[in-house]
Amino acid sequence: MESTNRPRLSPFCADLGSKKLLLNSKPPMTEEDVLDASNHCWCRRTNQVLGPDREVAVPELCRSGRSCFRSLFDSLT
């Protein structure tokens, strides 16, 4: 069995923004990695609290399956 060192991909959209994410040097893996005491997030694509689909940009919603979702891997290519 061959071992691969593939990085774990974040479950969150690459466009999800928060103050805490600006300070992190690694991809967020949990909601605690995204949210600070203010719980304020925004969409970096729209620069608003609403994403392109007019839904709120929050960690529990900005995941795979949402129409505007982009994975962190996609943003690197």
Has residue 28 been placed in a domain?
Answer: yes
Backbone angles phi, psi at 16, to 5 degrees: -70, 130
Question: Over the stretch 11-37, which tens digit does the pLDDT of each residue have?
Answer: 999 999 999 999 988 899 999 999 999
Q: pTM for this structure?
A: 0.82
What pLDDT, on the 0 to 100 scale, is given for residue 73?
Answer: 74
Has residue 4 been placed in a domain?
Answer: no
Number of domains in the chain: 1
Has residue 59 been placed in a domain?
Answer: yes
Work out the angle at residue 54's Cα, subtended by the Cα atoms of residues 48 and 16, and round it to the nearest 5 degrees: 50
Has residue 73 been placed in a domain?
Answer: no
Q: In 3D, which of 48, 43, 46 has the Cα closest to residue 13?
A: 43
CB atoms within 10 A of CB 34: 23
Q: Where in the sequence is the domain holding 53, given as residue range(s)? A: 10-64
Has residue 52 been placed in a domain?
Answer: yes
Q: Could you tell me which residues are beta bridge partners of residue 18?
A: 41
Has residue 74 been placed in a domain?
Answer: no
Has residue 72 been placed in a domain?
Answer: no
